[in-house]
Amino acid sequence: MQVGAAENRFLDRQYNPRTQVPEFADFFARWKRDARQVRTRMRARLDLPYGPAPAERLDFFPAAGASNPLLVFLHGGYWRALDKDDFSWVAPPYVSAGISVAVINYGLLPATALMEIVAQVRRACAWLHHNARALDVDVGRIACSGHSAGGHLTAMMIATDWPNVWPELPRRLLSGAVTISGLFDLEPLTRAEFLRNDLHLDQALARDLSPVLLPWRNDVPIVRAVGEHESSEFHRQSRLIAEHWSLACARELIDVPGCNHLSVCDAFADTGSALFQATRDLFS
């Protein structure tokens, strides 16, 4: 019992943002406020359906010009919290740089199982590929990005055998990926007290949904980032995926100075950060 309690405390300290970042509620409130302002002032196509479920919606923020690259963004929240409407603020700096942005929604735990969440994000990426011409997007320059749980979902897209899911799709559907504080080995989360009751993962399912145990099916580069002040486990997770997909992760891990698990997401939309520059360079 004492060993189990000690492990629970360790996993909670390492993985739970509410223990890592005491001011987490301030981040969430600011993100929601800033996102609302962006949607009122920017040109956008909101709540586009990409699948049959009510949650299968995306917001599209077009850049000026024609045949623009596209950055797909997947929010975090441990697959059980937050919403695309909280992250519209990601779009403006990339749109200003000539990169269109799609912010994706998906169903949340526990009502939507994690395997189905992965399937939903696959549908979103396939929908964007199919509708690239209508959106004035360069079909050969679509990159996927995500923060925390969204980083996990991004890696799952890189592990997807697209023609096996939809025969008409190319094997290399995406041109690049960005994982911000991503989760690539889900086994520790099956033992994390704060999450496991919603996650409903046994060891076999955790293996099936851990990118570190899956093949690298999209031959594309991956930009990895983690905040300087994040836990050792989040740093370990980003090292693990580099060991497993070494060719994809040839670029050195970006250890974002001064950032915690939430402020590192702010850095993604900061034009002065190395993370923003690396993301923009994916489309060069």
20, two tokens = 């890592």
Full-model pTM: 0.97
Asked if the model's pLDDT at residue 1 lies above 90, the reply is: no
The pLDDT assigned to 92 comes to 98
Between CA 87 and CA 253 the distance in angstroms is 24
Asked if the model's pLDDT at residue 4 lies above 80, the reply is: no
Name the pLDDT band for 9 (thresholds 50, 70, 90). Answer: confident
Q: How many residues does this entry show for the chain?
A: 284
Mean pLDDT of 184-205: 93
Name the pLDDT band for 2 (thresholds 50, 70, 90). Answer: very low
Between CA 179 and CA 152 the distance in angstroms is 8
Asked if the model's pLDDT at residue 3 lies above 60, the reply is: no
Which residues are bridge partners to 145 per DSSP? 73, 178
Radius of gyration in angstroms for the set of CA atoms belonging to the chain, rounded to a whole number = 18
Q: What domains does the chain contain, in order, with CATH numbers?
A: 2-281 (3.40.50.1820)
Three-class DSSP category at 249: coil
Decide if 42 contacts 95 (C-beta within 8 A): yes
The pLDDT assigned to 233 comes to 97
Mean pLDDT of 161-170: 96
167, two tokens = 């025969």
